[in-house]
């Protein structure tokens, strides 16, 4: 795959898991990254001292975050080529026990932040000759799972938002796609995997017979950001070991 050298990227949720893996892959391919995450210590511990990466500790759900993130990228690297909206949270529980506060929190991080940061980045993406947006959905963008009603709703919203963005932004040459990871081993998934039944369910759900790794999702993200994917837009790419087709 090609098209990463000297490209400027924003990656949210970059301190751990999938966001960290995507950031590492971009840096290894010659890109420059603004790595965004609320977990400042984790960001600095992983990225501090490395070339071509700028750490920005902020909450993507904050009202001021989009302008802050975009300004950092433009002032530091002179523009934006890639935006990877990876930041996300998951809160589980029986539907009847879920709260308004949980709804607002999950939707704020998983959906509203994508809308607002992408909107803020568009004027600069228009100036790129290879503008790409990749949003993190989930196989929950197409299905449902036990005790994940709000999370699933947020990921369905990511799919719909991405498709609409692809239609509206295509005239500027901006491709917009989303990833649909299955059950991936990350810090966010670890608490869920402490339940042996939950872990076994997702291991068995994937015909490949195991949980996925963050680097495997990063490889799919790199394809969608690459020059080879310049005519791919409005698409959800499953990275799930076949779980979504295993009825």
Q: Known catalytic residues?
A: 151
Rounded to whole angstroms, what are the CA distances from 160 to 9, 211, 236?
23, 26, 10
The answer to whether 9 and 33 have CB atoms below 8 angstroms apart is: yes
Instruction: State in Å, rounded, how far the first CA of the chain is from the last one.
Output: 33
Q: 147: phi > 0 → left, psi -120 to 50 → alpha, else beta; which?
A: left
């Amino acid at each position: 795959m090609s098209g990463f050298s000297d490209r400027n990227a924003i990656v949210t949720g970059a301190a751990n898991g999938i966001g960290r893996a995507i950031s590492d892959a971009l840096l290894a391919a010659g890109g420059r990254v603004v790595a965004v995450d609320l977990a400042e210590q984790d960001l600095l511990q992983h990225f501090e001292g490395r070339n071509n990466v700028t750490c920005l500790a902020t909450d993507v759900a904050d009202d001021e975050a989009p302008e802050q993130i975009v300004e950092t990228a433009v002032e530091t690297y002179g523009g934006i080529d890639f935006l990877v909206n990876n930041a996300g949270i998951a809160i589980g529980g029986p539907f009847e026990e879920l709260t308004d506060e949980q709804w607002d929190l999950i939707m704020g991080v998983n959906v509203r932040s994508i809308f607002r940061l992408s909107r803020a980045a568009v004027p600069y993406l228009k100036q790129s000759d290879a503008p790409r947006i990749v949003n993190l959905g989930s196989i929950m963008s197409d299905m449902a799972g036990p005790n994940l009603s709000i999370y699933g709703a947020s990921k369905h919203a990511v799919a719909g938002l991405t498709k609409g963005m692809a239609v509206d932004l295509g005239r500027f040459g901006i491709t917009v796609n989303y990833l649909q990871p299955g059950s991936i081993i990350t810090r966010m998934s670890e608490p869920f995997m402490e339940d042996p039944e939950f872990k076994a369910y997702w291991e068995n759900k994937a015909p490949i017979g195991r949980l996925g790794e963050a680097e495997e999702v990063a490889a799919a993200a790199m394809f969608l950001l690459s020059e080879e994917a310049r005519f791919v837009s409005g698409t959800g790419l499953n990275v799930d070991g076949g779980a979504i087709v295993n009825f």
